[in-house]
Amino acid sequence: MKTNVKLLVLFWMVITSQLTVNFNLAANNTTQWKEVDSRDDIKIFERWISFGDSLKVRERMGQIILNVHPDIILSKIIKIDNWNGWMHNVNSAYLIQKSHNGTMYVYTLFNIPWPFNNRDMVSYVQVKTNNITRETIVEICSTEGLIAPKSNIERISGYRAYWLITPMEKNAVKLTFSCYSTQTPAYPRWLMDPILRKMFFDNLLNFKQQVLNGLI
């Protein structure tokens, strides 16, 4: 019996590592995470990912400790029609369809401040939970099809993100969010990075506050 349990735990460790590594399957070089911000009990990290010799992108990761049941956190993350309640510059988001295996396909419209163009994204959302460790990972990746590109709206592609919900002692949860995009930026990094970093932090802060205040 103990041997079977150990095998199951080992199997999940392999699967979980693959779930995380899959975001970097095409990457041939990844730098170490560097902490770039820490406020309101939210820590922000960044690192560089290289794809071949011509593409280098920045990945961002945020971590929060919340004294909330993991099921509540998950329900807030996958409440698609309320993404615009906490996600910066999201005009609207709605469920396009849900497949037989639970995968959700989502359309998101972003209102981006000048001088950037408005953007939209079609993505799939998958939820995987380990019944042994009780960890849950929510994968969000851009995809093609389902909704045709619209005029004057830039379609986001190459976007990969995940939420990792890790239960801790005394009903606490360690919440990790990470994302990057391989889409070629339309503007210089020195212009976009400060804006994107602020939006990233604000999203996590908004999410945290609304969860704790029961607003989502």
Cα 133–Cα 46–Cα 124 angle in degrees, nearest 5: 60
In tens, the pLDDT along 179-188 reads 999 987 767 7
In tens, the pLDDT along 36-45 reads 999 999 999 9
Task: Give percent of the chain above pLDDT 70.
Answer: 85
Query: What domains does the chain contain, in order, with CATH numbers?
Result: 2-212 (3.30.530.20)
In tens, the pLDDT along 92-105 reads 999 999 999 999 99
Helical H runs in 109-188?
none
Instruction: Give me the residues paired with residue 105 across strands.
Output: 97, 124
Gap between the Cα atoms of 211 and 177, Å rounded:
15
Q: What is the pLDDT of residue 27?
A: 53
Nearest Cα to Cα of residue 189 among 87, 88, 60: 60
pTM: 0.82
In tens, the pLDDT along 125-177 reads 999 999 898 899 999 999 998 999 998 899 999 999 999 999 998 788 999 99
Reported confidence tier of residue 215, pLDDT bands at 50, 70, 90: low
Residue count (the chain) = 216
What string of DSSP letters covers 72-117? HHHHHHT-GGGGGGTSTTEEEEEEEEE-TTS-EEEEEEE-PPTTSP
